[in-house]
Amino acid sequence: MASDVHENVERHPGLTPLSSTLCADPDNQRSESPAPALTQGNEPGAAQDEAMFVHAQSYEDLTGEVEVPLPQSPGPEGNVEISSMEQISEDFSKLSTQLSVSSVQSIEQNPEEDTEMGHEDAASSSSSPEGDGGSRVLDDWYQHQKHVFVLSEAGKPVYSRYRSEEALSSTAGVMMALVSFLESEKNAIRSIHAEAYKVVFVRRSPLVLVSVSHTQQSEQEISQQLLYVYYQIVSLVTGAQLHHLFQQRPSYDLRQLLSGSERITDKLLDSMDVDPSFLLGAVCCHPMIANLRDATTYCLQQAKAKSLVFSILMSNNHLVTLVRKKDQYLHPIDLHLLFNLVTSSSSFREGEAWTPVCLPKFNPSGFFHAHISYLSHKPELCLLMVSTDREDFFTASDCKRKIVERLEKKGTWTSLKEALRNPFYDVTQIGIPELRHFLYKSKSSGLLTSPAMVAPYDTDREKRRLVELYQYLHGRAHCSARPLTTIYHMGAHENILAWVTEAFELYVCFSPLGTKSSAVNGVSRLLRWIRKEEDRLFILSSPTY
Amino acid sequence: MALRELKVCLLGDTGVGKSSIVWRFVEDSFDPNINPTIGASFMTKTVQYQNELHKFLIWDTAGQERFRALAPMYYRGSTAAIIAYDITKEETFSTLKNWVKELRQHGPPNIVVAIAGNKCDLNDVREVLEKDAKDYADSINAVFVETSAKNAININELFLEISKRIPSANTSATSGKGFKLRRHSSETEQRCC
């Protein structure tokens, strides 16, 4: 078991083989295989003229907002010095072996995930008398891997991922005491590390968000997830209303206003644990032949109205196409929130829905109105139209009718349905034998591509484990104290590689039987393949109405 | 056959079964695990009534507090409002009374009000007596039926009763036009606010 960690190309001559193999003709503007020297905008998947999304370096942008970027806290992130290699190695082996064990435990102890097993286990392991059911429920509550709490600054609970008011009332008090105690000294609490537990705080006035977890995720990533939860709440009530309510009455109980929306936040948290697009702050595209995508986009472009700002087609959380008003850009976070809203409720599945939604990155002070309707269930295709006028439902509805008519008339509909059948491509078609899975993000376009997770990552537990490996790699690569550009680790179950450049981020999973040189070779072939297929894997244009 | 469009909105507390009533009426289906409506949902269904076709344009609104302020947008210009409550939850009947008050004050003057006491299949755990609800409905001149979206009881009848209450066809030509104008004017009113 070994890890190679390179934080800087110049300082590590050992990396030269990697970069030299990957170096291609630098004169070619859209060269086949981009080298680290290539600037943003030339990488595979970069938009041809103008990006579709607000330009975001995603992760840094996000975390950069967390009040004062304090230098270095003496947490585990701090001890990267000489021992970094050993430590990373150790973390990886934990992730590839112990983690799967701990997730088995958590499934056994969590009756929500596996009812039968959970009950049996709880009954056999708990020696307490049968009447003591209440405390057992509470015990289960403490077993969850990652708790998320949202409180008001007055200490009133706003949201708890696994509910339980009972446990929450005392916990909320302790959490607020910690926050305010440190604040009285003009400090801010960011995290507490205790054995395997991390307690992470994010302060976003008027709310305080807290996560208590025992996962391998870095503090930075957890605070990013908490920030997503904050944005989720803003998207339900608007930032303006949130501030207004608490300004008028600091003891306001926000739960009443949020009642019925818990499922949306629950879904967001669940997705963030398994969907790498949140991790990378990028949008996953549905792969599709460019001609077909263009024809579909054209149908959306033609159905325009004064009040429409964005028309979006999505399928299984993948972006099919997006048409925007000229000079208006969506932020990937806002799109994630829209996707999450749609997928979190079955109530959109019939008829046409019309709902206020705030896009916090676009404008936190007001509501847009979203027209949401499914054009097809099998394969799934959902149309979202974002309008500025709350009275304009029938205009949007008319646009929907036009889009459907046009799709059918031009014969696009049949081929579109065919193309939507499978949101993922097969990794074997790339023709790299040791390659099992990868994530590739083009930084300038904010788009992500990734193949299907096939065996051995075809069970929920293995999928989860792979995502956790990616999370760990990502956390290491973006660690603010010591960012790393390349990481290669040979593990018992897989060899994994991370490569972060100015222009792109690549995380690759290889078979454990491969060698380092075959991995280096594989990465360069993979990048060539992505370049060759880029107009199918990505949306290279950024159409407007 | 003449086609008339009837705009109907559903109001009522969260979880009383507004969406289930609409799904049963439009799709003749029932989902016990239905999620709460977000915002509002629009569906249509055309049924024959005597020698006319009635096309119901149905606004199924969300019962949650967060969407409370949006309700006027949906009941304004509605021909009829179905206010639903859950016969097993007393407090949903109080919410219903508040909706009636609000409609009297801010709703269109001739709106047909229909009261639906949903979940009547759960008679064992009933909290609202049928007679009390009926008396209340009579006192405000509203249609009243107890329904079960789950067992498809009285759902079509509910909409049929609304059809019956709508002014007859010979006046519809003019009233239809008037209705449209009224909706228009109220829309502009809203923009000024």
Q: What is the tens place of the pLDDT at every residue in A286-321?
A: 999 999 999 999 999 999 999 999 999 999 999 999
Query: Residues 6 or more apart from B27 whose CB is under 8 A from it?
Result: A350
Residue A341 touches partner B, C-beta closer than 8 Å: yes
**pLDDT at site A343:** 93
Query: Nearest residue of A to residue B58 by CA position?
Result: A351
Mean pLDDT score of chain B: 87
Choose, out of B38, B59, B73, the residue to mutate when testing the contact with A (most A CBs < 10 Å). Answer: B38
Mean pLDDT score of chain A: 80
- Please indicate whether, in this complex, the C-beta atoms of A347 and B42 are within 8 angstroms of each other: no
Percentage of chain B beyond pLDDT 70 is 87
Least trusted range by pLDDT, from A160-169, A306-315, A529-538, B56-65? A160-169
- Please indicate whether, in this complex, the C-beta atoms of B41 and A352 are within 8 angstroms of each other: yes
**pLDDT at site A137:** 65
Distance between CA A63 and CA A223 in Å, rounded? Answer: 8
Q: Is the dihedral of CA A529, A532, A533, A538 positive or negative?
A: positive
The β-bridge partners of A4 are A488
- Ordered DSSP codes for B71-124: HHHHHTT-SEEEEEEETT-HHHHHHHHHHHHHHHHHS-TT-EEEEEEE-TT-GG
CA-to-CA dists, residue B157 to A1, A257, B8, B87, angstroms: 72, 35, 15, 18
Q: Would you give the end-to-end CA distance of chain A in angstroms?
A: 54
Residue A258 touches partner B, C-beta closer than 8 Å: yes
- Please indicate whether, in this complex, the C-beta atoms of A260 and B26 are within 8 angstroms of each other: no
Q: How far does B122 lie from chain A, in Å, by closest CA?
A: 23
How many CA within 13 A on the CB side of residue A106? 17
pLDDT over 50 (residue A330): yes
Residue A236 touches partner B, C-beta closer than 8 Å: yes
Percentage of chain A beyond pLDDT 70 is 78
H or E element at residue A297:
helix A290-302
- Please indicate whether, in this complex, the C-beta atoms of A351 and B36 are within 8 angstroms of each other: no
- Please indicate whether, in this complex, the C-beta atoms of B190 and A391 are within 8 angstroms of each other: yes
**pLDDT at site A74:** 40
Q: How many helices (H) and strands (E) does chain A have?
A: 19, 17
Distance between CA A445 and CA A56 in Å, rounded? Answer: 9
- Please indicate whether, in this complex, the C-beta atoms of A353 and B40 are within 8 angstroms of each other: yes
Tokens representing B85 are: 């409550």
Distance between CA A468 and CA A274 in Å, rounded? Answer: 8
- pLDDT tens per residue across span A430-488: 999 999 999 999 998 899 999 999 888 988 889 889 998 999 899 888 887 788 889 99
* Closest to B92 in 3D by CA, of B12, B11, B32: B12
Choose, out of A391, A400, A401, the residue to mutate when testing the contact with B (most B CBs < 10 Å). Answer: A391
pLDDT over 80 (residue A58): no
H or E element at residue A532:
helix A516-532
CA-to-CA dists, residue A384 to A196, A372, A400, B145, angstroms: 42, 5, 9, 37
Strands A495-500 and A381-387: unpaired
**pLDDT at site A509:** 95
pLDDT over 50 (residue A102): no
Q: Is the dihedral of CA A7, A12, A18, A22 positive or negative?
A: positive
- pLDDT tens per residue across span B79-113: 999 999 999 999 999 999 999 999 999 999 989 99
Distance between CA A531 and CA A399 in Å, rounded? Answer: 35
* Closest to A253 in 3D by CA, of A244, A245, A262, A261: A245
- Please indicate whether, in this complex, the C-beta atoms of B39 and A356 are within 8 angstroms of each other: yes
Determine the average pLDDT of the residues in A211-226: 88
Chain A residues close to B27, C-beta within 8 Å: 350
Chain B residues close to A256, C-beta within 8 Å: 65
Count of other CB atoms within 10 angstroms of residue A120: 13
- pLDDT tens per residue across span A123-182: 333 334 444 555 666 677 778 888 899 988 888 888 988 887 666 777 777 888 877 777
**pLDDT at site A408:** 92
Q: Is A24 helix (H, G, I), strand (E, B) or coil?
A: coil
- Please indicate whether, in this complex, the C-beta atoms of B66 and A257 are within 8 angstroms of each other: yes
Q: Which of B38, B42, B73 sits opposite A345 (nearest CB)?
A: B38
Determine the average pLDDT of the residues in A75-88: 52
**pLDDT at site A153:** 86
Tokens representing A452 are: 């299907």
**pLDDT at site B155:** 95
**pLDDT at site A4:** 58
Q: Report whether the peptide linkage leading into residue A456 is cis, meaning its omega lies within 30 degrees of zero.
A: yes
Which residue is listed with tokens 């003057």? B109
Cβ pairs A/B, distance under 8 A: 78
Q: How far does A390 lie from chain B, in Å, by closest CA?
A: 9
Which residue is listed with tokens 């939604």? A357
Residue A71 confidence class, pLDDT cut points 50, 70, 90: very low
